[in-house]
Amino acid sequence: MAFISSGYNPEKPMENRISDIGPQHFTEFLQPVIKKNFGKWVYHEILEPGVLKHVAESGDAVYTVRCGTARLMSVTHIREICDIADQWCDGYLRFTTRNNIEFMVEDEGKAKDLKKFLNDQKFPGGSFKFPVGGTGAGVSNIVHTQGWVHCHTPATDASGTVKATMDAVFDQFTDMKLPAPVRISMACCLNMCGAVHCSDIAILGIHRKPPIIDHKYLDNLCEIPLAVAACPTGAVRPSKVEVDGKDYKTVAIKEERCMFCGNCYTMCPSLPLADKEGDGIALMVGGKVSNRITKPAFSKVVVPFLPNNTPRWPEMTDVIKRILTAYSEGANKYERLGDWATRIGWERFFEVCDLEFSEHLIDDFRDPAYYTWRQTTQFKW
Amino acid sequence: MAKHKTPMLDQLESGPWPSFVSDVKQEAETRAKNEKGIEYQVPADCPDDLLGVLELSYNDGETHWKHGGIVGVFGYGGGVIGRYCDQPEQFPGVAHFHTIRVAQPAGKFYTTKFLRDLCDIWELRGSGLTNMHGATGDIVLLGTQTPQLEEIFFELTHNMNNDLGGSGSNLRTPAACMGMSRCEYACYDSQELCYNLTQEYQDELHRPAFPYKFKFKFDACPNGCVAAIARSDLSFLGTWRDNIRVDQEAVAAYVGGEIAPNAGAHAGRDWGKFDIVKEVVNLCPSGAITFEGGKLAIDNKECVRCMHCINTMPRALRIGEDTGCSILCGAKAPILDGPQMGSLLVPFVEVNKDDDFQAIKDVVEGVWDWWMEEGKNRERIGETMKRLGFAALANAAGVPIDARMVQEPRHNPYIFWKADEVEGGWERDIEDFRKRHQR
Ligand code: HEM
Ligand code: HEM
Ligand code: HEM
Ligand code: SF4
Ligand code: SF4
Ligand code: SF4
Ligand code: SF4
């Protein structure tokens, strides 16, 4: 393969360098009706799952068709998206904050034809390429992370857990039959790149074994004070060991204080902790970011561990479906999952979702833990 | 013919949801055929090897990426996430597999021209795989080799007039909801403010100068479609100060069943006839709404602008006209001290394009000056706030102390006073005390 230069000259790297130009201005990309009615919208309607109508003061309307994506996508797929946008939408499209695609047209009939067309496109393996949905009181796309596709600190895979979950709840993506939207998010370690700490349902990769210490290399590869400072529970301290008759500067980890967060590994390559049997996922529920009726809330851990049963994580999808069903049957209209659980009481939540409550679910992290215990005699039998 | 056997991943090709495995396979095939005769600058079988290494991880239950990786382009201290496979002999196509973060337009609107140009660069110089988009907002180009980084950067800047996004201890790529482009709830132009601040602080974005990472996000109303309150160190949420605009005729149309509540968001189930008292009046968190004699009235002074009534009856109720934004500070994920959402710092500030958003920039820079001085190594501003107190942040930002800043006043009396706040100060003589009180 022959090297093809872009025009960059490695001999004179700073020559002709353009920097600090940022992204392009978004108005370069606005579809004409959107541009014309910018800031002048008066109302919207969800015509059917995946199809929105926005009406402007001028009387103009724009119809949006929303469809799901795997987020991880090839240029072949992006070009196919472009083909659709060229054919139906004069070459305009957008992506949402949950990584869905939105195609905008100016005619209701066309929107419905486009929905049908999108729903007809399939991969050779049989999955939909562009399933239409994700609007209103249903389950939209899962905000997720890198997993085993690209990151070095995951305790599980992102793309796989997400595909397994979306397959299991697919009918909620294409319909709007829940009490309120349910946002599902996924992060493959507790850095929580994304929205795991603030979602109705969250899938989180966790470890259960302390790091293995690569004593012989640690001092060469790591800034020891940074690894020490990385530990939320103060389990890491500097130390010295003798290996094969040689002294090494290294760290010691108090195993009974380690809760396997992996942050010391983030800071120090000589402290890996991934492990097939130890690693798996925790499930959290009840978070939200909107200010509607109740305040934004953190998601809470309700299942401390489920195994990484690749490639489809059946234990995980089973619990998620159970929680969704109990919520759907029990919650009032407009009530988000966390609001419902708070109203009925968490002791009741565990009962109706048929989940086991164990000591792992009781907070023991510093001062704030106290505020999560029950300082009242109000409880249900 | 696929390069590696992937029995586990093959099982993720079935089921209705778009399969990333099918898509990566289709890219692998396209590159194997290479009908366009492209001189691929990284191994043509890069997507095959990605599937191979992923299959190995599905068997081992462990990641196969080496720790870290420091690569980039001259002039910048971030923008590229370096990554190396820990089985390079078995999967040479992904021995290097660096990610490039590309700055995205606010609201993620695109023309096909832009996307096609980007695909052309990436097909030639990368794996042909992407994330659309990263959680922070960037276009993510997933997988290339070190020698290609400068080439890609040169083409991006020279041919596409587009820059990299952020990574490292700096300002990360800001993101906005779609705002005024297509939403009647937008209280300010979230995209314009996002664009303006991104350009203003390019230096802070490309060259790490902070104790740790720092993110901006812009939601044009309290619904939070870009989740600013949970996912950005400084969150800008649109709001208003005057009255919700009520159209009584449209209210009657909702009550009469002519318009579906919540724009039809619950149409998939029979929730019965719309009951304005049950679904709006009684759910208002402030009890600020009354419905008498067929007229809906709002005691706007008591309204906390939660959006519920507007969300439920978008054709009858509209946001006020005296609009601006609130600024919240300190959201972060759990590491180290526990997760935080943004805490209200500025209840209301005008979003004024005419003076280049100066009032907002004053707050941003006040906050940065303080945190860059006081923040410890790898301490998010949310943690600095916890360590040094909220009042210190407010003072640094030049924001007057306000009861709106707290959910409730403190319940412990461990109150600090400064010496100059106390009559007579702190300089005291024990002998003087002893004149009144014997030992
Ligand atoms: C180990 C290396 C890491 C990798 C490969 C990684 C990868 C990523 C990626 C690809 C994104 C999306 C970025 C974008 O859109 O441009 C992201 C976002 C994020 N990362 Fe990481 N990350 C790493 C470490 C961390 C650490 C150490 C933390 C926190 C302690 C963290 C917290 C986050 C959060 C909270 C977001 C999402 C922010 C948002 O919602 O906008 N990550 N990460
Ligand atoms: C005109 C009205 C609205 C427009 C145009 C709008 C637009 C959007 C879009 C396009 C998305 C990404 C959706 C996806 O990919 O599934 C989104 C996400 C979201 N919207 Fe809205 N939205 C509107 C009203 C609302 C309302 C009424 C609420 C809350 C009650 C809300 C809260 C959210 C939240 C929380 C997210 C997801 C953020 C996240 O978790 O990452 N939005 N919105
Ligand atoms: C020389 C110093 C102190 C003396 C002589 C003193 C004396 C007392 C006495 C006689 C009682 C009543 C005990 C009873 O009902 O049996 C009491 C109760 C109490 N004291 Fe002190 N005290 C002192 C310092 C403090 C300090 C420094 C604090 C807090 C920081 C404190 C907090 C309390 C509290 C909270 C109670 C009520 C306890 C309860 O509710 O059970 N005292 N103290
Ligand atoms: S959540 Fe953790 S493992 Fe996943 S991409 Fe982020 S840092 Fe990596
Ligand atoms: S994994 Fe986390 S808790 Fe355990 S030693 Fe490392 S930093 Fe500390
Ligand atoms: S945050 Fe508010 S203004 Fe922005 S898109 Fe969502 S609903 Fe509209
Ligand atoms: S916006 Fe919320 S608080 Fe204000 S009147 Fe409507 S429901 Fe009540």
CB contact under 8 A, A310 and B40: no
Phi (first) and psi of residue B388, to 5 degrees: -105, -5
Identify the bridge partners of residue B297 per DSSP, sorted by sequence position: B290
B109-143 residue pLDDT tens: 999 999 999 999 999 999 999 999 999 999 999 99
Q: Which residues line ligand 7 (CB under 6 A)?
A: B 284-286, 288-289, 298, 303-310
Q: Are B217 and B178 in contact (CB under 8 A)?
A: no
Q: How far apart are the first and last CA of chain B?
A: 95
Q: Distance from the CA of B285 to the center of ligand 7, in angstroms?
A: 7
Q: Alpha-carbon distance B254 to B194, whole Å?
A: 36
Closest CA to ligand 7's atom 8: B284
A 10 A CB-CB count for A174 gives 21
Helix axes A314-330, A337-344, angle to 10 degrees: 70
Q: Alpha-carbon distance A261 to B145, whole Å?
A: 30
pLDDT value at position B68?
Answer: 84
Q: ∠B317-B318-B321 over CA atoms, to 5°?
A: 145
pLDDT value at position A195?
Answer: 87
Measured between beta carbons, the chain A residues lying within 8 angstroms of B315 are 42-43
- For residue A109, pLDDT over 80 is answered with yes
* Stated pTM of the model: 0.89
Q: Distance from the CA of A361 to the center of ligand 5, in angstroms?
A: 19
Which residues, in sequence order, are CB contacts of B87 under 8 Å at separation 6+? Answer: B53, B56, B64
Q: How many percent of chain B have pLDDT more than 90?
A: 99
How many residues are present in chain A? 381
pLDDT value at position A220?
Answer: 96
Q: What is the largest CA-CA distance in chain A?
A: 83
Chain centroid offset of residue A257 CA? 29
How many residues are present in chain B? 439
Q: Does residue B34 sit at the A interface (CB-CB below 8 Å)?
A: no
One DSSP character per residue, B97-110 reads --EEEEPPPGGGEE
Average pLDDT score over chain A: 97
Average pLDDT score over chain B: 97
Phi-psi region of A20 (alpha: psi -120 to 50; beta: other; left: phi over 0): left
Residue reference for tokens 């940065």: B368
Nearest ligand to the C-alpha of residue B286? 7
B423-435 residue pLDDT tens: 999 999 999 999 9
pLDDT value at position B2?
Answer: 83
CB contact under 8 A, A76 and B128: yes
Classify burial at B256, counting beta carbons within 10 Å of its beta carbon; exposed 0-12, middle 13-18, buried 19 or more.
exposed
> Which H/E stretch holds residue B58?
helix B46-60
* Mean pLDDT value across residues A229-242: 97
Q: How far apart are the first and last CA of chain A?
A: 71
- For residue A1, pLDDT over 80 is answered with no
* Mean pLDDT value across residues B350-355: 97
Nearest ligand to the C-alpha of residue B136? 1
- For residue B1, pLDDT over 80 is answered with no
- For residue A355, pLDDT over 90 is answered with yes
Measured between beta carbons, the chain B residues lying within 8 angstroms of A191 are 333, 335
Q: Are A24 and B162 in contact (CB under 8 A)?
A: yes
Helix (H, G, I), strand (E, B) or coil at A54: strand
Instruction: Tell me if the bond preceding A190 is cis, omega within 30° of 0.
Output: no
Q: Alpha-carbon distance A24 to B198, whole Å?
A: 10
Q: Does residue B51 sit at the A interface (CB-CB below 8 Å)?
A: no
Q: pLDDT class for A333, splitting at 50, 70, 90? A: very high
CB contact under 8 A, B18 and A127: yes
A147-158 residue pLDDT tens: 999 999 999 999
- For residue A23, pLDDT over 70 is answered with yes
Q: Alpha-carbon distance A109 to B239, whole Å?
A: 35
Q: How many percent of chain B have pLDDT more than 70?
A: 100
Q: Alpha-carbon distance A279 to B60, whole Å?
A: 11
Identify the bridge partners of residue A177 per DSSP, sorted by sequence position: none
Q: Is A145 touching ligand 4 by the criterion CB < 6 Å? A: yes
CB contact under 8 A, B17 and A170: yes
B372-409 residue pLDDT tens: 999 999 999 999 999 999 999 999 999 999 999 999 99
Q: Alpha-carbon distance A290 to B224, whole Å?
A: 5
B260-319 residue pLDDT tens: 999 999 999 999 999 999 999 999 999 999 999 999 999 999 999 999 999 999 999 999
One DSSP character per residue, B161-180 reads ---B---SSSB---EE--GG
Q: Does residue B310 sit at the A interface (CB-CB below 8 Å)?
A: no
One DSSP character per residue, A136-205 reads SSSB-PPB---GGGT-SS-SS-HHHHHHHHHHHTHHHHS---SSS-B-EEEESSTT--SSGGGSSEEEEE
Q: By 3-state DSSP, what share of chain A in percent is helix, strand and coil, each rounded to 5? A: 30, 20, 45
